[in-house]
Amino acid sequence: MGRLIFCLFLFFQISYGDRFYLDGYDWTFRSLNNSYAGQANVPGDIYIDLYRNGLTNNPLYGNGDQDYRWVGRTAWIYEKIFDLQSNVINSNDIVLVFESLDTVVDAYLNMQHLFSSKNQFTPVQISVKTVLQSTQNNLTLVFQSPVEYAINQSTAYRNKHGHDIPPDTANTGSSSFAEPHPNFIRKTQSSFSWDWGPSFPTVGVAKSAYLEYFANAAIYQVSPLITKNQADSFFQLQADVYVLCQSGTTATIALNITEISLATSQTFTNINCVSGVPQNLSQVFKVPTNVINLWYPNGYGPQTLYTLNTQVIVNGNTVSQNSMKIGFRTVELVQDNVTVANQFKGLTFYFKVNDIPVFIKGSNYIPIDPFPAQTFTSRKQFLLQSMQEANMNALRIWGGGLFEMDEFYNFADQYGILLWHDQMFGCALYSADDDFIQLLLPEFTNQVIRLRHHPSILNWAGNNENEVAVSTQWWHVSNYTKSMEIQDYVTLYVKNMQPLITSLDPSRPFVLSSPSNGKETEEEGGVSTKINSYSPFYGDIHFYSYKGNIWNNSIFEIPRCATEFGAQSLPLKGTMTHWIKSDEWTHGSHWLNARQHHPDGNGQNLNLVFLHFELPPQCEGYKLGNDCPYINSSTTFLEEYSYLTQVFQAIAMQTESEHYRRYKATLDSDGHGLTMCALYWQLNDVWAAPTWASIDYDLNWKVLHYYARRFFAPFIVSLYFDSSMKLQVYIVSDEVQSRNGCSLLSTKSAAIMGLNTTQLDFQSDITAKNITLNDDDTFVIRAVIKDQNGASITPTTILLPDKMKQISNTNYGDATITSVTQVDPATFNVTLTASKIVPILWLDIKPEVKETYQLKYWFSDNAFTMTDPQVTVQLKIFSSIRPTVTLTTQDFIVSRMKMSSSQTTTPTPNPVTQCINSWHKETTTPNKCFISVPRNEARSEANFDCSVFGKNASLKLK
């Protein structure tokens, strides 16, 4: 028993001044036709306001996305009545600030029109001193329907230009899920639906609203720009201090960095202030490198942060101040010829952080929730800490989503997660009309200025997949030729976005799109037409395959950088039955089709999974699809199948990720290789559904996330069979320092005879002999590297057969939980035992215990093949609603992958004509080979000097 202490570490940019916040539950909402009305919350959105007022059910439950489509098609009015105290109303100036309005809105104060806003990503500031009164101020926001606005804008564009801008609907493959034309409104593009999420076109005040009141001046925002020339012994810190002020004010801006006692100040006289418009009072000072520690990404060093304090001093008095966290680091994108002799083999594409080449490994991020204006601080911390725990160092902020709140970037800084940051354009073409460009330029300016001080932001990218959509002609639109598409694309991204962002932020690289050919794309003018825009010889690629065997390395490209690749899986029953009725938990139910937005996703998943695993014997004689009644109607099937989808996804991502990691230091004769990025799609979910996520909507790690913890470890053994069915062994290291005196221990077990295993002599058996057992799937290959003291320094790598058609075979064992002991208030040791090999076991806490404590947690290891008689893993509790958590063996469950049968069936393997060297036929079962080894597991070791492949390298053992 212990007391759970949950520490939330936040590094906010905190401003101290005079603000009257308009946030809270004292707003009201109503539909334009007065059919619906109730109390509203700011920040917030109309879907949650309707739900809290009992006017709808939880929109994420059941068919809420379809039942409440009318919400996004309705105009809404938000209103707040408020009084002001004398110190506010009597101040010299009062500025109304909305950090984010979602989206198309007209604002009125005391019946006077203040402004119109059409961009969710651009804040609003306006002086309202002359409009306010002491009591009964009425602030009214009239929001247009985002769906109707987008349709109207698309129609107006067509009438003006004589052609459409594709696509008609968001990336779902079906208009039945999505609303049309999100590319005509500047809000979260995926709020109109995507192939992983529902359509909830939100309306409301998305971030804080407040009145900034002051006599002389007040800090609106501080935006440090931190740069360093390679030869310099100092960082240059340009502090842009944006101040709201009275014209003619004289103010001193004082800056200091707390931890190193470095301070500077500058006085600005007779400032030409414009009411309601922040003025930039900028100053520059040098920070010597010998007095600071650098910030490093996860796995490369500490995440050192410093406190920058800013004061505005008028007449000797501090009238406003700000405190924020900053970090010092350099970033370089290296795009050089891979060979001097043959420049046609392409360019490198990798990032150096603090002059260290970094293999970018991690995932992709979609919006935190369909209703992101709600408070999700703990949820964001869980996701980013889960990345750190899984040995990831990078996350791509995907271009169909939104610019996150400050707390998200603070967590990325804290946990060392580099952010490849798209601008918010995705899978669509966009208008290049001047009025649309003018709507975008303040968005670019405000977001870059707000975020550029974060050391975690690795680079900016112009969009998601828009270049490749143009270059490969995803859409064919009447009266809109490819050359016209290229011209509009270049106008937006090359002529407007790129020069503005790079001028505002020269501290990090900018790439035009993802994927793109990087430097080659720019040399072609912004769109690759001479070279395939998915070229593996330049830039980054996105890769997906929903046919064939994606456990086979030969299917994958060998790129310079892979920023998207993925496979789907289902959430487990515990998650899904929170959001659908329990009796709908079957593969043939309506929910699976309704929540599967990827075209033919459910059919593809069945084919992909059962390419590797045994079919339910109840489906003998049926086709694989939904014509099998057992697949359609059995909750047992779906419970087991959902776990198999997660295992399938995990092994697929392991195969592809390790494929990319193995090529980090290899360049083949054709110019393929030097791969330095592996970001799988995707990290998180916005609802409970079949998706590509590695953490489900209820914040449970899926099998993939546990696998990622192993295959993204800094130092791994990577095993695979080549096309000749010879076992290949690679050692891959992301560690900066070399290691000496390491040993590789590799064992091979066969015939599923208890825990008996045999050591493969990898000087001969691994590479020189065909060790396949003629389609018999009863073997497990295991490898681990140990140091000179015998301690494991890599995760244990397990290679399972490509086809596991006997996972229900009784020769496999089950694990038992034998003890649970508490280490500290948030840590428990869980000990498992088994008498036979347990294929990919799953350890979890019982649903009722989770519910009682409202637990969020992960294990130190899970979803592994148990090849030792006893294993102990740690449970790490992230959060609980109760101060004390008590757990025993009765509170856990452990299972393994299997496919249950109401009858006993043993699939018959293909006959074995002969066994490989040292293996013998069983006399009782002639189609099996076995090898005798001691019970205590015979081992042979091969020693190698880790320094032979050194730091940041991959090594193939021969």
List active site positions. Answer: 465
Residue 163 gets which letter from DSSP?
S
What is the rounded radius of gyration, in angstroms, for the C-alpha atoms of the chain?
30
363 alpha-carbon distance from chain centroid:
5
In sequence order, the 6+-apart residues with CB closer than 8 A to the CB of 695 are 383, 386, 683, 684, 685, 701, 702, 705
List the structure tokens of 297. Answer: 């990404």
Q: Which is nearest to 912 in space by CA: 927, 899, 891?
A: 927
Sequence-distant (≥ 6) Cβ neighbours of residue 941 within 8 angstroms: 743, 744, 745
d(CA 949, CA 218): 57
Read off the tokens for 709. 């913890």
| Nearest-angstrom CA–CA distance, 178 and 190 | 9
Indicate the DSSP class of residue 131. Answer: T
Distance CA 931, CA 737 (A): 40
How far from the centroid of its chain's Cα atoms is residue 183's Cα? 22
**Strands of 76-82's sheet in order across:** 37-42, 24-31, 76-82, 137-143, 105-109, 112-117
Q: Packing angle between helix 377-389 and helix 406-415, nearest 10 degrees?
A: 20
Q: Beta-strand (E) ranges in 490-634? A: 510-511, 541-543, 562-565
Cis peptide before 372 (omega within 30 of 0): no
Sorted by sequence, the CB contacts under 8 Å of residue 63 that are 6+ apart come out as: 590, 591, 594
Residue 542, SS3? strand
- The rounded distance, in Å, linking the Cα atoms of 684 and 687 is 9
Confirm if 876 and 859 have CB atoms less than 8 A apart. yes
User: Residue 438 class from Cβ within 10 Å (0-12 exposed, 13-18 middle, 19+ buried)?
Assistant: exposed
Helix, coil or strand: residue 706: helix
For residue 257, give the amino acid letter.
I
Report the distance separating Cα 47 and Cα 194, nearest Å. Answer: 18
If you ran DSSP here, which 8-state letter would residue 554 be given?
Answer: G
Q: Quick one: how far is CA 158 from the chain centroid?
A: 36
- Contact status, residue 884 vs residue 3, Cβ threshold 8 Å: yes
Place of tokens 């004082």: 254
Can you read off the two tokens belonging to residue 727? Answer: 């076992």
Q: Tokens standing for 801?
A: 């057969």
- Three-class SS of 371-384: CCCCCCHHHHHHHH
Cis ω before 43 (30° cut-off from 0): yes
User: Are the C-beta atoms of residues 713 and 658 closer than 8 Å to each other?
Assistant: no
Strands 677-680 and 360-365: parallel
| 395 close to 417: Cβ distance less than 8 angstroms | yes
Closest CA to 93 of 254, 273, 315: 273
CA-to-CA distance for 681 and 639, rounded, in angstroms?
24
693: which residues sit within 8 A by CB, 6+ positions away? 196, 682, 683, 684, 685, 702
**Could you write out the three-class secondary structure of 774-817?**
CCCCCEEEEEEEECCCCCECCCCEEECCCCECCCCCCCCCCCEE
